[in-house]
């Protein structure tokens, strides 16, 4: 109801192509055969990862790599390789155009921007504390089934779950996107059990800093305890590490987030303080309101 809030974003179009522009600047100086060899090596590198994943029973994995991809064409190739190499274990892609072109499911969850904007619009500390649940209450009215995935880490997972209303425990699952992923999943399992839910029926989507070894470890640790799924990002669609001089095509971290709503700055705390963003005074206020104490710093894997 009423007018839409004015939401200021970091320049998403510019951020989305920044990685690709850097790649083009490096590739422009390569000869034809040098380029062919580069991409042959990158293709081999990805295919070897896919071959390792083929032995993982009951794997469910999706492409979440749009934001930090090497290029659109490379992401499209990666998706096709996943389709052929993993078959039904490949659940889809978060890139809607590629999903349409390749007859795949467009797959994803709600995003951190939603509670960040709701929180920035809150008039009081009490409204701020309610904001993460208000946004999911609105989402609950509009979506069902596999779209009911909780993304709890915007202002700290443990505090979010401790204060969560009971109806949220009935949602389909949870996405673990920062901090120690195993610790986050264990926290979710304990929360479901405390709310009378069977964790074995719940979906856990791991989506932070994944590569093949981590995927295999998490799958082995939680398979049978929950329904395990993965959103594979940067190291699916942009793993050119070690393939050119000075590692000039290695991926780097990009973030696309709202920075203000109606003139008020947005804040994200995360389960990893390395991922916190916003003005220092507001970060301190949000930590007080959401009861966020000392957090373990985890190296951010791009």
Tens of pLDDT, residue by residue over 66-88, are 988 999 999 999 999 999 999 99
Round the average pLDDT of the chain to a whole number and report it: 91
Res 57 pLDDT > 50: yes
Tens of pLDDT, residue by residue over 131-188, are 999 999 999 999 988 899 999 999 999 999 999 999 999 999 999 998 899 999 999 9
Percentage of the residues of the chain whose pLDDT score is greater than 70:
93
Domain ranges (residues) in the chain: 7-290
Rounded to an integer, the average pLDDT of 111-139 is 96
- Which pLDDT score, from 0 to 100, does residue 1 have? 44
- In sequence order, the β-bridge partners of residue 174 are 150, 204
- Which pLDDT score, from 0 to 100, does residue 286 have? 96
pTM of this structure: 0.90
Topology of the domain covering 7-290: nicotinate phosphoribosyltransferase (3.20.140)
Strands 203-206 and 227-232: parallel
């Amino acid at each position: 109801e009423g007018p839409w809030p004015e939401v200021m974003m970091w320049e998403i179009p510019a951020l989305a192509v920044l990685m690709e522009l850097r790649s083009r600047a490096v590739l422009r100086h390569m000869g034809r055969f040098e380029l062919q060899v580069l991409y042959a090596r990158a293709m081999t590198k990805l295919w070897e990862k896919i071959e390792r994943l083929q032995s993982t029973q009951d794997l469910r994995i999706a492409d979440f790599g749009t934001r930090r991809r090497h290029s659109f064409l490379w992401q499209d190739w990666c998706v096709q390789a996943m389709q052929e190499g993993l078959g039904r274990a490949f659940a889809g892609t978060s890139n809607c155009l590629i999903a349409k072109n390749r007859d795949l499911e467009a797959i994803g969850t709600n995003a951190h921007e939603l509670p960040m904007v709701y929180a920035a619009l809150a008039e009081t500390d009490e409204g701020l504390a309610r904001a993460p649940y208000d946004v999911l209450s609105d989402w609950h009215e509009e979506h069902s089934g596999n779209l009911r995935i909780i993304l709890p880490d915007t202002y700290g997972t443990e505090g979010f779950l401790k204060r969560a209303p009971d109806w949220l425990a009935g949602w389909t699952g949870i996405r673990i996107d920062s901090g120690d992923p195993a610790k986050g999943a264990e926290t979710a399992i304990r929360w479901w059990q405390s709310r009378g839910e069977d964790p074995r029926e719940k979906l856990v989507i791991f989506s932070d800093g994944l590569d093949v070894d981590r995927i295999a470890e998490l799958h082995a640790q939680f398979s049978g305890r929950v329904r395990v799924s993965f959103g594979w990002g940067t190291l699916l669609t942009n793993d050119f590490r070690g393939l050119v001089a000075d590692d000039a095509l290695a991926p780097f971290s990009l973030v696309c987030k709202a920075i203000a709503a109606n003139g008020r700055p947005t804040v994200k705390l995360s389960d990893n303080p390395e991922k916190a963003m916003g003005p220092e005074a507001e970060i301190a206020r949000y930590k007080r309101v959401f009861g966020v104490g000392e957090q373990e710093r985890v190296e951010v894997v791009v």
